[in-house]
Amino acid sequence: MKKVFRFIISAGMMVSVAAMLFTSCTKEGPQGPAGPAGKDGTNGTDANSNCVQCHNWSDSLVTKIFQYDASQHATGSTTFEGTRKACAVCHTSQGYLENIVTNADTTAEAVYDAAPINCRTCHKIHKTYTNADWALTITTGFQPMYDKTITIDLAAEGGSSNLCARCHQARKTSPWLTNPTSITDSLKPTSNRWGPHHGTQGLILSGKGAFEIGAVPFGQTDHKSSLACSSCHQALAQGDLVGGHSLKMRNEEENIQNVAACKNCHTSATSFDVGGRQTEIAGMLQTLKVKLAVANMLDTNTMLLKTGKKYPQKQLAVFWNYLMIVEDRSLGVHNYMYTHDMLQSGLDYFSKLGN
């Protein structure tokens, strides 16, 4: 009986000690610093109201996420390219954010733990903890990769297109054309990927980047002064198929062309082929493609340059311009006159050769 009693006393003491230790360990510490100011302007008294300006899980926010998840940026970003310093500036979120600070064409180091293009790439997420966090990370002009002596500034709608064009531009290639109108000075590219690389839309829109080898300067259809990339690519959304944060202009499976933005000016438009201009450009592009193939310059299996021989600089300029239009993929919508004159100068070149 005494043993049982002693056991009860001992157990009670252990519980009491444990309770004292637990109370000591969980004692409330000193008050931390005040949180960010709330909507009412006082320091930290309404911080939660700041967060819910964005984190309200409203239909508006859900819709943006839903649309963006279907975009090429979300589904097609080749983030493995982040391991290359020259690629990471556009293929990773970290590289892009570094680029808008340094204005360098490469990252300082390879980005191995790469994040794809996401909300924080384009928006100032968690900078002010207010709706100002939806502001774009950059809207100022920039010096393009192919020529650092010029500035491109797509200023319409607050310069939002500059955010896009910093990646949607040509890359300088080697060997570079220093005499693009010459039919006697020749160069020998060693890579079949010689050309402007992918995504030339920003340059075409701005009317830059082509080698002007015609008798007169190339013309301009000046969409850039009144429209931004978002004017069309974020036009009236249809689910996640086109428009909004999907950034898509067409959906082939559902046979949708999002002409909502076009109708602001081209009120009778039923497709992107306004006035038959896309049809015209497609025909000219196909004709030039055939001429490049007949000239044994374009490999029609890979659609890349045939290497192993020299080409006159002017002929390489024609090839560069051809690829600029192929990679733009708008068939003249971004800048009809500039695109038309690029193609015409190439066709004129081959015409003078008798091809």
- Whether the pLDDT of residue 40 is over 50: the answer is no
- Token look-up 């005499």 returns 179
- DSSP helix, strand, coil percent of the chain (3-state; round to 5): 45, 5, 50
| Residue 215 burial class via C-beta count within 10 angstroms: exposed 0-12, middle 13-18, buried 19 and up | exposed
Interatomic CA distance for residues 293 and 302, integer angstroms: 12
Task: Determine the average pLDDT of the residues in 292-309.
Answer: 97
Longest dimension (CA), the chain: 119
If residue 264 lies in a helix (H) or strand (E), which one and from where to where? none
Contact 77, 93 (CB under 8 A): no
The two tokens of residue 141 are: 């002009």
**What pLDDT, on the 0 to 100 scale, is given for residue 5?**
47
Angle between helices 336-352 and 313-328 (to 10 degrees): 150
Nearest to 121 by CA among 147, 92, 141, 149: 92
What pLDDT digit, counting tens, does each position of 117-141 carry? Answer: 999 999 999 888 888 999 999 999 9
Nearest to 285 by CA among 339, 204, 348: 339
Nearest to 338 by CA among 226, 215, 203, 231: 203
**What pLDDT, on the 0 to 100 scale, is given for residue 16?**
56
Query: How many residues belong to the chain?
Result: 355
Nearest to 200 by CA among 77, 324, 117, 317: 324
Task: Kindly give the pairing relationship between strand 304-305 and strand 311-312.
Answer: unpaired
What pLDDT digit, counting tens, does each position of 219-235 carry? Answer: 999 999 999 999 999 99
**Which has the higher per-residue pLDDT, 32 or 307?**
307
